[in-house]
Amino acid sequence: MLLTTIFCLSAFLAVAGALLVTFSKNLIHACVYLLFCLVGVAGLYLTLNAEFLAATQLVVYVGGVVVLLLFAMMLTGGSSLNKVMSRFGLESTPLMGNWRTYLMGGVAAALLIAVLGNVLRNLSMGSSTVTEKSISSVEQIGVKLLTDHILAFEISSVLLLGALVGAAIISRPFRSSESEN
């Protein structure tokens, strides 16, 4: 019953967050809704007993990508986007505190309480099989990643390095040849 509740809350959070990202007029709101969507996907991974994927989802996507998007939007001038939107007659939604953010925050809080309640219940019952199982699966993933699949691991690291260099080149300010003379 608790697993079904966690699954339903996670699925609602993921789908509602994705829909709100799609229909949001404000980029900052879209980024916050993307955060809710990715947390919902991490909850779905937890219901599938894929603890490593859930932790990776939270660390990489929620912790890295969303923060990067927020900083990129804040540093590139989100206020100019609001000026352009108001010029075309489009309204921006309030920054925070509307019913959608409260609803998504409530669902995320309920999901967190349900997951923590499940973990605490397992700990109080003395269930150590879940911990041993997750440790062995993480260990197996690490061994497979650094032995059998080392080539794919290295190729992905070179690809990420190329993306980082490309992003640095794209974000450089454009200098015309006339200003140098």
Question: How far is 14 from 11, CA to CA, in rounded Å?
Answer: 5
- Which residues contact residue 83 at a Cβ distance below 8 angstroms, ignoring those fewer than 6 apart? none
Contact by Cβ (8 Å): 6, 43: yes
Question: How far is 67 from 50, CA to CA, in rounded Å?
Answer: 24
Contact by Cβ (8 Å): 38, 62: yes
How many Å from the N-terminal Cα to the C-terminal Cα in the chain?
Answer: 72
Residue 91 has pLDDT above 70, yes or no: no
Tens of pLDDT, residues 94-142: 445 677 778 877 888 887 787 777 777 776 776 554 455 545 577 777 7
Question: How far is 137 from 51, CA to CA, in rounded Å?
Answer: 9
Mean predicted confidence (pLDDT) in 68-93: 60
Residue with tokens 């660390």: 59
pTM: 0.54
Structure tokens at 20: 């709100």
Contact by Cβ (8 Å): 52, 137: yes
Structure tokens at 72: 């990129």
Tens of pLDDT, residues 167-179: 777 777 766 665 5
Res 97: pLDDT = 64
Question: How far is 97 from 2, CA to CA, in rounded Å?
Answer: 30
| Domain ranges (residues) in the chain | 2-126, 128-173
Structure tokens at 52: 């490593």
Tens of pLDDT, residues 49-79: 887 888 888 888 877 777 777 677 667 665 5
Structure tokens at 114: 């349900």
Tens of pLDDT, residues 35-51: 889 899 998 998 888 87
Q: Give the DSSP per-residue string, 147-171.
A: TTTHHHHHHHHHHHHHHHHHHHHHH
- The number of beta carbons lying within 10 Å of the beta carbon of residue 32 is 23
Q: Considering the domain 2-126 in this protein, what is its CATH number?
A: 1.20.120.1200
Residue type, 168: A
